[in-house]
Structure 1
C-alpha cells in the first residue's frame, strides 16, 4: 500500500512547482481592517494523538485519489490561495463600479486573514502531514507551518465576502470554498483541522471587513439632478454611480483629496478629435481596452514569473494593493466627474460619431480608464520595479484608447493620468509602511 501511495505522490510531485517561501514575519505585517494579525485568537491545533488519527485519514485519502480528486487538486493548486477567487469574483460581476468594490473587499479580507493565519502558523509551528508522510503529498511541499491552512483561510474570507454581496450565489460560493479546503487534504499537505481552523479564521476576518463595508457609504442614494446648463454632460439615461465620489476610500482622506481643477473649453480638443486619423490599430486599441482587464492579468503573470504565487502572504498583499488602487482611484475620479459634469465629445458636437458604439452614461472628465490604469500601473511598478517602463507605457496606452474610441477628449485622459498617479503613489506610500519591505531577520548561528 505504501508503495502505491508513494508512486501516486511522486507522479503528482513531478508536475508540481518548486518549494514555497515561508515569510516567517508576515504575521506582523500591517493589516487593513482587523487591528493586527494577532487580534483574532486561533485555538491551538489538536493533540499529538488526534494529529496521528488525522494523518491516517490523509494517507487513506491519498491512496484513493481518482481523476476527479486530482483535477480538484490541480485547479486549486494552480496559483496563490487567492488566485482562483479573482476569476470567481469577476464571473459574478457585470458592472465595473460594483466590481472594484467587491474585489477590494474580498482581497483585503484575504490579505488580513492571511496575515492572521501567519501569526498563528508561527505561534504553533505545526508541521503539515507531508513533513512526516511525504509519500502522501501530491503537490510541492510548503515549508511554512500548516495550521491554519492558507488556502482555507482565503476560501473562508473570499466566499463569505462574496456571499454577502451576492446572496443568490451563496450556496455555490460555500461549495467552492469547501472544495478549496478539501483539495489541500486530498493533496496530502493539510490536516482536516488545518482546513477547519483556516476556514473559520477567514470567515471571522470577512465579518470584520463586511462591518467596515457598512460604513463606506456605497449604499448612499443620490438626491441630486443632472444639470441643464449648456456645455455640461447630459443624457437621457440615468447617470451611473453619481455618489461614488463620496464613498469612503481606503488610503485617500476623501474622494476630493486630489480633485483636479475644472475642465477647459473643449473647442480645441473637439477639433483634434475630429481630425484624428482612424486606423485599424487605433480602433483595435479602443476595443481592446474597453473589454480587457490588462492590469489584473499582468499581476497574475508577474506572480507566476517571479515565483511569488508560492508566497501566500506576498501574493495576497499584491492582490489587495492593486484592488485598493482601483477602488480609491474610482472614488477620486467620480468625485471630479460629478463635481464638474464634463461633457462627452458626441454631446459637445452631435454630428460626431465615436468609434465605440456606446458612450458611458456618466460625465467624461476625467477619464476613468486613465485614472484607474495609472493608479494600478503605479502600484505594479512598485511591486515589480523591472516593469516600470512597461506600466507607464500601458497606462498611457489605456488613456489614449479612450481618445481613439472617441468617447473622451485628450484633456480628460491627461488629467486622469495625473490623478491616477497621485492615488497610486498614496497606495504605494501605505504599502511601504506595512512591514513587508523590511529585511528578513538574520539567522543567528547556534553555539
Structure 2
C-alpha cells in the first residue's frame, strides 16, 4: 500500500526548489522574475475590508475559486471549449493552457522564494484564513498566475469568451484576497505574470497549426473512407511538442478488413458490452479520474506538482491527437458501416476515417501517463484504456485492428512524454518519493 501525504504534510513541503524544474516554452524563469513586492503593511487594511464585506455571493465565489489547484477550473473550461471547436486551434489552446500554467507557475516559484513575502494571515493576526493554509510565499499569487494565463489564451483563441474570462479572473483575485491567502499586490502581479508568459507561448507556437486550407482531395477506390466533409483532415500536419513529428509512430497500413467484419457480425452483444459502448461514447472519464486522483493525493495543495501533471496530460492529449490524425489521413481507413452498408452500429459513426481509433489512441496515452503519475493504480488505468478501446468495437464503429493499433500508438506517445518528464528535475525532490514511488511502501 502506498503511503500518501496528508494536507498538513504537503503544507510543510511547498516545493521550494520548483524554480529549477525545466519549462516547456520559456527558456529561463529568471528572465521573468518580478520586481520586489510593495510593502504589505499598506495592504493589510484592504484584506481586512474584503473579509468584512463578505456576503452570501462573496462566500460562494470564495469557495468556488479556491477549490482545487490553481489550474483546476481553467483546465476544465478549455477542455469544453476545445470539444466545441470546429477549427484547428482548439487542441492547441487546450495544450497551451495546461503548459503555460505550468511554465508560469515555475516562474512564479522563482519570484516567491526570491522575496519570501509572508501571507496575509501570517502578517497580521486579525486576518482570518478561509482556505487550507498555503506555506509558500505570498508574492505572486499562484491562482492569479493561472488566471492570467487562461484569460490570455482563451481570449485569444475564443474571442467570444474574452469578456467572460476576464470577469472570472477578477472574481478569482477578489476571492483570494477575501480568503486571506493573498494581498492585492500579489494578485495583480500574478495576473500580469501569467498574461506575459501566456502571450510568449502563443507567439512561440505560431505555425503549429495548418496555415493553408485543405485542398479537398480524397483518395478513391475500394477500402478507403467515403464522406463529404471529413473532420480535421489537416490535423496530422500540426507541429508536435514532444514527438519529432506527427508521423514518428505512424502504424503500418490497415489490413483487409474482411475477417474483422465477419468477427464484428458474429460478436454476441450483451448488456455489459452495450453499456461499455455507450459509457465511453459520452464519458469524460480521463478528465474526471485525473482530478479525483489529484484530490485524493492532496496534490491540489501543491501547485507546481499539480501544474506539472496538467501540463503533461495536455501535451499527451495534443501530441496523441495529432499523431492519430496523421495516421487517419495517411490511410483513410474506412468504417464498418462503409465496408458493409447493411451494418448498423450502436452509435452514430464519426465523420472521419476509422484507422486508427481516436478514442483508443488517446486512452492509450492517458492510461500510460496516469500509470506514471499514480503507479499504485497503473493496472487500473491500463485496464480502463483497454475498456475504452474495446468500446469502439462494441459500438460497431471501429474494426478491432483500429483499436489495437491505436492503443499501441498512444502508449508510444505517452512513453516519449514520460521520458522527457523524467528529465525535468521534478523527480529529484523528496516529494517524488511519495508521489512517484519506485515500489509500494508500507503494508
- TM-score, normalised via structure 2 length: 0.92
Match of 2:36 among 35, 44, 51: 44
Q: Which residue of 1 aligns with 2:346?
A: 355
Equivalent positions of 1:300-379 (< 5 A) are 300-356=291-347, 358-379=348-369
Q: Which residue of 2 aligns with 1:415?
A: 405
Take 2:132 and 2:317, find their aligned partners in 1: how far apart are those partners?
33
Verify the 8 A CA contact 1:21 1:142 in the aligned structure 2. Answer: no
Residue 190 and residue 399 in structure 1: after superposition, are their counterparts in 2 closer, same or farther (change >3 A)? same
Take 2:352 and 2:309, find their aligned partners in 1: how far apart are those partners?
30
**Greater RCO (CA < 8 Å, at least 6 residues apart):** 2
Q: Which residue of 2 aligns with 1:81?
A: 70
Verify the 8 A CA contact 1:286 1:405 in the aligned structure 2. Answer: yes
- Is residue 280 of structure 2 the alignment partner of residue 289 of structure 1? yes
Equivalent positions of 1:1-400 (< 5 A) are 19=11, 21-47=13-39, 51-95=40-84, 99-136=90-127, 137-235=129-227, 237-356=228-347, 358-400=348-390
Number of paired residues? Answer: 422
Verify the 8 A CA contact 1:20 1:310 in the aligned structure 2. Answer: no
Secondary structure, counterpart of 1:38 in structure 2: helix
Take 1:101 and 1:35, find their aligned partners in 2: how far apart are those partners?
20
Q: What's the CA shift string for 1:270-308, capped at 9, x where partnerless?
A: 000011112222112112111112111111000000000
Q: What's the CA shift string for 1:165-204, capped at 9, x where partnerless?
A: 1101100010111111111101111110000000000000
Verify the 8 A CA contact 1:369 1:402 in the aligned structure 2. Answer: yes
Runs of 5+ unmatched residues, structure 1? 1-14, 442-447
- TM-score, normalised via structure 1 length: 0.91
Q: Aligned Cα RMSD in Å?
A: 1.8
Distance apart, 1:213 and its partner CA: 2.8
Take 2:178 and 2:342, find their aligned partners in 1: how far apart are those partners?
63
Q: What's the CA shift string for 1:204-237, capped at 9, x where partnerless?
A: 01101111231202444212411111111111x3
Take 2:55 and 2:328, find their aligned partners in 1: how far apart are those partners?
55
Q: What's the CA shift string for 1:409-431, capped at 9, x where partnerless?
A: 00000000010000000110111
Q: Which residue of 2 aligns with 1:406?
A: 396
